[in-house]
Amino acid sequence: MDSEHAGGERDAADGRTAGTTRAWSAASGSDAGGAERTGAHKRNTEAREAEAAEHEDELVCPECGGRLVSDEEHAETVCADCGLVVDEDEIDRGPEWRAFDAAERDEKRRVGAPTTKMMHDEGLSSQIGWQDKDAYGNALSSRQRRKMQRLRTWDERFRTRDSKERNLKQALGEIERMASALGLPEDVRETASVIYRRALAEDLLPGRSIEAIATAALYGAARRTGTPRTIDEVAAVSRVDEMEFKRAYRYVVRQLGLEIGPPDPEQYVSRFASDLDVSGETEHRARELLRTAKRTGLHSGKSPVGLAAAAIYAAGILTNRKLTQDEVSAAAEVSNVTIRNRYKELLEADGAGGSTTAAGA
């Protein structure tokens, strides 16, 4: 009995010793884990501080120590104090993949085109491709091709659900056709599409043709964006006569309250100078003549196209670049009489009229 009691006491003592050992081990492990976590936290803090210091260094101009600012429009980082361009072309907005032909480009593309006002559905709808091929690039059978053609026809019909959408689609196609013929950039086409959409929304079309309002919208857009084309040029590519186009233009501008100032003769100089292949000096002199004309009020009530053509002709005389009146007349599509009358007025306003003589026509 005594031996059993003694044995129990020894077992209890051994248990307490083992428990103490386990508790000490656990405590030691906890201390070690805490130390490890503390060290990791310290290292992370130091890394963040180093990164912040490096970032602060990046925001300081290496040349003068001034503050750096980001110019998002030109994708540049420049110093606000000295103007040093520290970084440029910061963002590559193109795709990260390369393609060597149209088929590969279509295969790798993962997103659609951006929305645009130049399409009646703003480019949001999908359409059935024109290639008669399956997903593996294999040609379709004649039966499948006929089926796909029927599907395309129905798809096209469903994309223009009512007469208003059909009207818009026809008008935007007409704007695109005329803009291409006139060589107008995309911003002019987009602006013309917006103007036409406004005219359609405000019910300005009854009693007027789609083509007339589309032509008026394109001409107004060209004027608003500083990419002028003459009335004769626009009328030449339009499907309506010039008088109908002019009436529609005045009506649209009045009803929509478009703020379109008189065309600036200087806006035509670059195009005429390029067509006539004159030097930069001649073009610059023509602009000076037109600025003088505006200061003296000579341009008031006169055709900006005729003034621009006469300025090019007069500038050619002043810079020894002899242009004939026939050449300038053909480039600007104005008469020789207009050029003769206007260039003399420009030279007199500039004070150079008495010291120059005109080249022969």
Beta bridge partners of 71: 76
What domain range includes position 345?
Answer: 266-355
Is 129 within a domain? no
Residue 290 clears pLDDT 80, i.e. is over it: yes
Is residue 91 over pLDDT 50?
yes
Instruction: Please indicate, yes or no, whether residues 245 and 299 belong to a single structural domain of this protein.
Output: no
Chain length of the chain: 361
Residue 215 counted as domain residue:
yes
Q: Where would I find the beta strands (DSSP E) of the chain? A: 68-71, 76-79, 85-88
Across the range 218-234, mean pLDDT stands at 89
- Is residue 301 included in any domain, yes or no? yes
Question: Which of 221, 256, 291 represents a domain boundary (last residue)?
Answer: 256
Question: Helix (H, G, I), strand (E, B), or coil: what is residue 71?
Answer: strand
Give yes or no for a contact between 82 and 76, defined as CB atoms under 8 angstroms apart: no
Average pLDDT of the chain, as a whole number: 77
Distance, in Å, from the CA atom of 313 to the CA atom of 268, rounded to the nearest integer, reads: 13
| Residue 186 counted as domain residue | yes
The answer to the question of residue 29 being in a domain is no
Evaluate whether 64 touches 81 at the Cβ level (below 8 Å): yes
Model confidence pLDDT, tens digit, residues 231-287:
889 999 999 999 999 999 999 999 999 888 888 888 888 888 888 988 889 999 999
Do residues 200 and 252 share a domain? Answer: yes
Residues 213 and 288 in one domain: no
The answer on 279 and 213 residing in a single domain is no
Rounded distance between C-alpha atoms, residue 177 and residue 167, angstroms: 15
Is 141 inside any structural domain? no
**Count of structural domains within the chain:** 3
Compute CA distances 350 → 192, 355, 356, whole Å: 38, 11, 12
The pLDDT, as a whole number, for residue 358 is 43
Cα–Cα distance list, 160 to 14, 70, 165, 168 (Å): 91, 45, 5, 9
